[in-house]
Amino acid sequence: MAENSKIEWTTHTFNPIWGCVKVSDGCKNCYASTFSKRVGQDIWGVDKPRRTFGEKHWNEPLKWNKDAAGAGERHRVFCASMTDVFMDDPYMIEAHPRLWKLIEATPHLDWLLLTKRPENILKMIPEHWRAQLPFNVWVGTSVENQKAANERIPHLIQVPAVVRFLSCEPLLGEVDLSLYIGDYDCHACGYRGFDVGDEYECPTCEERYSAENEGCPHCGEQSDENLTCPRCGSSEGGTGTFGKFNTNLYWEETDGIHWVIVGGESGAHARPMQIEWAESLRSQCEEGGVKFFMKQLGGVRDKRHDLEQFPESLRVREFPTSDTLTAKAQT
């Protein structure tokens, strides 16, 4: 646990337990696993014991909450750096009730719950959170490559959280987020690839045309009944920020991903990140109205956290706007 974290995008870190199980390529050079071994903790892997903590540890966030309230600020708490909060593990499951109560008791802290197992979020959170998570709970998933994006993000965007974020660290390949930070969400299959502004996109020929037109001027496809999802063919409609999916159901404002953190891998066995991968994510976020945070370039010897060392296009460290999001969550 760190009272004042060295991680640039959080104020504090909190770990209910230490220990985890590696599940994907992003875990290969896990810093937490390496650090645990260095300090003599054999807690990584299936059926391994985990490190647990006492009262002093669990009371620390109460102090942070008091300090944040006194300063009239909101402080961010990354949970967790040394485990996965939504790991299906008896030690973690035992810690869950105490963690949920702690989060509810610290309203001046924004808890950033990051997981590689987003499919477990709705199963493991308290029942009274499932319609809407508390306003101070942000949920995120790790996305190291396109495979991880396609497997994890569809689960994440189903969680009713005031902030949903991605941690693309270590970034191990180019990632296309167009399905997930587009403007529309099909009710039938969850497709988020629509990006047509105030226009329609013809499902037959993909020609774009004004909503004022009666049909596609290119092929004659009619707009009144036949606007369908280009992925699954459904005409059930959906939700989004612009236009409409069919004329019987206008899009309503919705949220997908609010924040993307990007970083290269660091350490003795760091796998290189191509600058173009990070720049692509930056462009996608800018076009999609998603906040972007460039954490580090990575490298074997030099972590290169200093913004001055970044290419100018990546000197960006944005955060979701807490006041706006909090007000939205409470409506």
Among 22-26, 38-42, 140-144, 240-244, which range has the highest average pLDDT? 140-144
Q: Is the torsion defined by CA of 307, 308, 309, 313 positive or negative? A: positive
Going by their DSSP bridges, the two strands 137-142 and 109-115 should be labelled as parallel
Dump pLDDT digits (tens) for 55-75: 999 999 999 999 999 999 999
Q: Does the pLDDT value for residue 1 go beyond 90? A: no
Q: Does the pLDDT value for residue 167 go beyond 50? A: yes
| Coil, strand or helix at 62 | helix
Above pLDDT 90, what percent of the chain? Answer: 51
Pairwise CA distance, residues 285 & 290, whole Å? 5
Q: Does the pLDDT value for residue 287 go beyond 90? A: no
Q: Does the pLDDT value for residue 310 go beyond 60? A: yes
Q: Does the pLDDT value for residue 192 go beyond 50? A: no
CATH 3.20.20 domain locations along the chain: 12-178+262-329
| Coil, strand or helix at 103 | helix
| Coil, strand or helix at 46 | coil
pLDDT band at 213 (very low <50, low <70, confident <90, very high): very low
Give this prediction's pTM: 0.76
Architecture per CATH, domain 12-178+262-329, reads as Alpha-Beta Barrel (3.20)
Among 23-37, 160-174, 225-239, 310-324, which range has the highest average pLDDT? 160-174
Range list of β-strands (E), 63-129: 75-79, 109-115
Dump pLDDT digits (tens) for 116-147: 999 999 999 999 999 999 999 999 999 999 99
* Cβ–Cβ < 8 Å for 31, 38: no
Range list of β-strands (E), 103-248: 109-115, 137-142, 163-168, 184-186, 199-201, 208-210, 238-240, 244-246
Pairwise CA distance, residues 281 & 257, whole Å? 13
* Cβ–Cβ < 8 Å for 186, 249: no
